Amino acid sequence: MIILDKPYVSDELKEYLRKSRIPVLKNTYAAAGLSEEKLNLTGETEFKKFLISNPRLLTVSENSLGWVYKNCCDKDKINNIELMKDKYRLRETMKELYPDFFFKEVSVSELGSLDFSSLKLPVVLKPSVGFFSEGVYTVFDGNDWKNALADISKKTQKWAKDYPEDVVGKGRFIIEEYIKGEEYAIDAYYGDDGKAVVLNIFKHDFGSASDVSDRLYHTSKNIVTGKLKDFTEFLDASNAFFKAKNFPVHVELRIAGGRIIPVEFNPLRFAGWCTTDLAYFAYGFKTYDYFFSGKKPDWDALLAGKDGKIYTLILLNKPKNISGAVKFDYEALQKKFKKVLKLRKTENSASPIFGFLFTETQEKDRTELDYIVKTDLTEFIS
């Protein structure tokens, strides 16, 4: 069972849902925008009945969590959603695994009067409940702190307008120590037995130490084979706190000093904006199909012939100084890459992004990736 919602549903997912006949909640989004897609749209009353007998529920957007809170009778599922969504509660719950990790929670009104000198820098400041790297600030010094507070003051009303309260919370922020090391993202699910099944492993590349954007993720045979065992064991250990079953998650984490430290758990979904489809473009399988079917990837078979290749997910985020309607030269952008697997355009002036690009790159030549992770894309804007 699946709930579709804004901001985006991919053609790959819609095709899968047409063929599989998985029940799709007939909410406002599906009824208005997907009525011609011949999906198995299911009314709210019937969908709620299905939820009782079918525990496998997936969303594509955290905009759907409000409906789940109100209509799902599975208290364990709701508790896990609320726990994973609240970064402060999550740190509190898992702190026995990370006893030396610094974190504290403050309200927006308390940020201005906080004794900055009491913080052990660097730190990350972010909403206790948040989405899509909104309101995330890396603070190395006093200027970073002042700039972060000014930006929060300016954007608070915009976040309240753009996202439901279930997504962005009630003006609470967490301050936590900056986790050095490589960052990864995982799409996975906990099965009938509570054991983790990893479906996607992305490495998150940054343009600089202060960069917190989602511009570039990539996967490869080396990444999957090198991290699969450790990440599966980490997810299994984490489930000692959740005890989740038939539950999809998108997890962001960092490896620091050989230790895996979670950045956040995102419940009931895989990578946002249907970017979980990187698994399909890279390895030929659909993560949502494996979740609904209870399948486990045969990685030996899926990775055959993938030596020396990098598969990338590139977020075409708009520069901070760009607003309103502009033209983006998608054709010129694609010429920067040797092999484009898929371009997804979001030609909507209100969208925070221009779209997504999926590419294949040779590991021995990362020039195009080094370029895209640093550019602000203004050369393609008119």
Mark whether 158 and 26 lie in a shared domain. Answer: no
Mark whether 188 and 291 lie in a shared domain. Answer: yes
Mark whether 189 and 169 lie in a shared domain. Answer: no
pLDDT in tens, 244-273: 999 999 999 999 889 999 999 999 999 999
Mark whether 229 and 345 lie in a shared domain. Answer: yes
Chosen domain end from 177, 210, 231: 177
User: Which pairs from 9-18 meet CB under 8 Å and 24+ separation?
Assistant: 9/34, 9/60, 9/274, 10/274, 10/277, 10/344, 12/274, 12/277, 12/280, 12/286, 13/60, 13/274, 13/277, 13/286, 13/288, 14/39, 16/286, 16/288, 16/289
Mark whether 234 and 376 lie in a shared domain. Answer: yes
Is 132 within a domain? yes
Q: How far is CA 163 from the centre of its chain?
A: 15
Q: Which domain holds residue 50?
A: 2-83
pLDDT in tens, 67-89: 999 999 899 999 999 999 999 99
List CB contacts of 33: < 8 A, sequence separation 6 or more: none
What CATH number should be reported for the domain holding residue 295?
Answer: 3.30.470.20
pLDDT in tens, 337-381: 999 999 999 877 778 889 999 999 999 999 999 999 989 999 999
Question: What is the rounded CA–CA span in Å between residue 250 and residue 200?
Answer: 9
The pLDDT > 90 percentage for the chain reads: 73
Mark whether 194 and 312 lie in a shared domain. Answer: yes
The pLDDT > 70 percentage for the chain reads: 93
What CATH number should be reported for the domain holding residue 128?
Answer: 3.30.1490.20
* Listed range (59-73, 89-103, 207-221) with the worst mean pLDDT: 207-221
Mark whether 160 and 274 lie in a shared domain. Answer: no
Mark whether 116 and 79 lie in a shared domain. Answer: no
Question: What is the rounded CA–CA span in Å between residue 199 and residue 280?
Answer: 10
Mark whether 230 and 333 lie in a shared domain. Answer: yes
Question: What is the rounded CA–CA span in Å between residue 186 and residue 168?
Answer: 22
List CB contacts of 293: < 8 A, sequence separation 6 or more: none
User: What domain count does the chain have?
Assistant: 3
Extract the tokens encoding 226: 């090198």
Chosen domain end from 28, 48, 83: 83
Is 90 within a domain? no
- The answer to whether 138 and 180 are in contact (CB under 8 A) is no
Extract the tokens encoding 312: 């990338």
Furthest CA-CA distance within the chain: 59
Q: For position 35, what pLDDT does the model report?
A: 80
From residue 47, how far is each of 50, 57, 72, 289, 351 by CA, in Å?
Answer: 5, 11, 10, 19, 30
In the predicted model, is pLDDT for residue 206 greater than 80? no
Is 139 within a domain? yes
Is 89 within a domain? no
pTM of the model: 0.89
Is 75 within a domain? yes
Extract the tokens encoding 229: 């065992």
Question: What is the rounded CA–CA span in Å between residue 137 and residue 2?
Answer: 33
Mark whether 231 and 307 lie in a shared domain. Answer: yes
Question: What is the rounded CA–CA span in Å between residue 84 and residue 344?
Answer: 29
Mark whether 368 and 268 lie in a shared domain. Answer: yes
Is 361 within a domain? yes
User: Using 50, 70 and 90 to split pLDDT, how confident is the model at 207?
Assistant: low
From residue 268, how far is each of 57, 146, 156, 192, 313 by CA, in Å?
Answer: 7, 35, 26, 15, 21
List CB contacts of 307: < 8 A, sequence separation 6 or more: 221
More confident residue, 153 or 18: 18
Mark whether 257 and 110 lie in a shared domain. Answer: no
Is 18 within a domain? yes
Is 92 within a domain? no
Chosen domain end from 177, 204, 226: 177
In the predicted model, is pLDDT for residue 34 greater than 90? no
